[in-house]
Structure 1
């Protein structure tokens, strides 16, 4: 054992440091408790040195030449895969160091290339392994940081959306561990909103499967998950590139019933979140006859509810959405169940989704 520590006690070059870290990680699986403890301390020290070379400090920015040299050694030794797959065995601070190292390497550009993006692109199962980190609370938040950094890259986001592991987010966001569920939802939302063209293509290709699962989230017993899911629905429907998806969603009476039933929730915040997708059904200039009929049959109750329960002001500004919805509901009649004029189409953009003033 002493030979192992003496061998790497004073690494002199980036290559020495990377090889020392690799050796320690590989040996940790075979060491006893005391050996693991000692190896962990040495591993933390060497990783901190590598991080310093790549990240630098506020007073001492890293040398571009050194960053490239370290990065190339990391790629050649396949160190990122080794660290990520052994993340669970590392101590708290070392996990944070690994996440910080991956974050900075993801942004490293060599000429016109982003070599760390290429590294992950060639290893889709490594991306899936990172996402699966949400299954273990000990590494969930560290993995979340790295997944979101990868999601900044359009090619990697596309890979993650296409991988079967993406559907596991519907379970991760309902984790009984609050921090895990919250972090997973941030990542889930990021993948569905950051690159709008990718998200639109994904939602179009997986419309039924996605919205079936998303509806279940809106019925979650987890208050935070439920509220965030309703809010995300509003974001997705009012994204301009999702116009056809929005129109398909608004044509469904089942979807309208789901939203209207949320008005019965005991939480005023949930009710308020539900108002945002609901107003899209009301303002839609191309309502299906079935949707219009439901709104007409429930018009008086809806108008009473909205008048009493939806706030008149958002901050210091009048709630124009409330006034618009009341106006459109008042215009409905049995004779108006045919699609109305397209003049209301201007109300169906992202500006119609307001922030909830209630915390």
Structure 2
């Protein structure tokens, strides 16, 4: 064995502690020196970490070692370094880091997910990741990392109740289509992954949430308008959201928004709006304000409903439209 090979073998990290220490040192060095060499060292370490966590294509990862790495990374505050340095890294390194993040969060020590527990104790990392949607270079990486966090109810609950959550109503209207769509996917996960968490959140933040949601329902951005009304039509009709739906359909303000969307130039928007509108009409306990609004707009509504585009293979939609037409005619 050559002298250089023996030296390289000795220099290569061999224990979990050495692996994590090497990663940490390279990030700390990057904080004071953002040279190409420093970035390259971080990149090599993250690439090596990815292979240890996910395998190299030939050998499967050692799961006991993966857990030990996760525990050591939490102990040495390396998760914080991952997040804080995300904007400084190159595309390939960010991709590897996001991959490592997803694996690390899934590591469980006895009854606890150690990295999830670490993030619970350092929730500012979640705020930082949400804020990264403003950065075109890292938005998609931070989005995938956030969606991994949202799989865990404590982390989803924090984001929902934080000031950062309101930023999503801005992000879904960003001019960059890919980033706006990614933000919407994260937004949807926040509102669909954990029924109890979401129910409690909307129960205490109902008014504020729908004030913001109204803005995107009436957005000048066609994609935002279409996606927001589509999600609302699906969200309200979920059995787990029945309390929210019952509250929503008692408010004439929201009825008027749906009537406005029934006039939209987009066929898809009109159909999604109909699926929300029909619940206002079908409600057997309609308040007087709703009945009066339906009566006042009766002629226009009947015209809009008769002109609602028929869809091939959607007989159920046609049947529902006919029933709603009949209900309005009887008012």
TM-score where L is the length of structure 1: 0.85
- The answer for the alignment partner of 1:267 in structure 2 is 266
Give the paired residue count: 324
Which whole-Å CA distance do the structure 1 matches of 2:303 and 2:155 have between them? 48
After superposition, what is the alpha-carbon deviation per residue over 1:264-307, rounded to whole angstroms, capped at 9, x for unaligned?
22222222221111111111111111211221232233222212
- The answer for the alignment partner of 2:167 in structure 1 is 168
Which whole-Å CA distance do the structure 2 matches of 1:27 and 1:57 have between them? 27
- The answer for the alignment partner of 1:117 in structure 2 is 116
Q: Relative to 1, partners in 2 of residues 1:294 and 1:314: Cα closer, same or farther, differing over 3 Å?
A: farther
Query: Which residue of 31, 34, 48 corresponds with 1:29?
Result: 31
Mapped contact 2:86–2:94 kept (Cα < 8 A): yes
Query: Which residue of 1, 11, 15 corresponds with 2:13?
Result: 11
Which whole-Å CA distance do the structure 1 matches of 2:311 and 2:164 have between them? 43
TM-score where L is the length of structure 2: 0.92
- The answer for the alignment partner of 1:139 in structure 2 is 138
- The answer for the alignment partner of 1:234 in structure 2 is 233
Q: Relative to 1, partners in 2 of residues 1:63 and 1:308: Cα closer, same or farther, differing over 3 Å?
A: same
Which whole-Å CA distance do the structure 2 matches of 1:218 and 1:298 have between them? 20
Within 5 A, what are the aligned runs for 1:122-201?
122-201=121-200
Q: Relative to 1, partners in 2 of residues 1:234 and 1:46: Cα closer, same or farther, differing over 3 Å?
A: same
Q: CA RMSD in A?
A: 2.0
- The answer for the alignment partner of 2:278 in structure 1 is 279
Which whole-Å CA distance do the structure 1 matches of 2:143 and 2:36 have between them? 26
* 1:287 counterpart SS class: coil
Query: Are 1:311 and 2:313 counterparts?
Result: no
Q: Relative to 1, partners in 2 of residues 1:261 and 1:46: Cα closer, same or farther, differing over 3 Å?
A: same
Report the CA distance between 1:235 and its aligned residue: 2.5
Which whole-Å CA distance do the structure 1 matches of 2:251 and 2:291 have between them? 11
* 1:257 counterpart SS class: helix
- The answer for the alignment partner of 2:4 in structure 1 is none
* 1:165 counterpart SS class: helix
Which whole-Å CA distance do the structure 2 matches of 1:319 and 1:107 have between them? 46
Query: Are 1:323 and 2:325 counterparts?
Result: no
Report the CA distance between 1:242 and its aligned residue: 2.5
Deviates more, 1:219-228 or 1:304-313: 304-313
Q: Relative to 1, partners in 2 of residues 1:150 and 1:216: Cα closer, same or farther, differing over 3 Å?
A: same
Which whole-Å CA distance do the structure 2 matches of 1:317 and 1:324 have between them? 11
Mapped contact 1:144–1:183 kept (Cα < 8 A): yes
Which whole-Å CA distance do the structure 2 matches of 1:9 and 1:179 have between them? 42
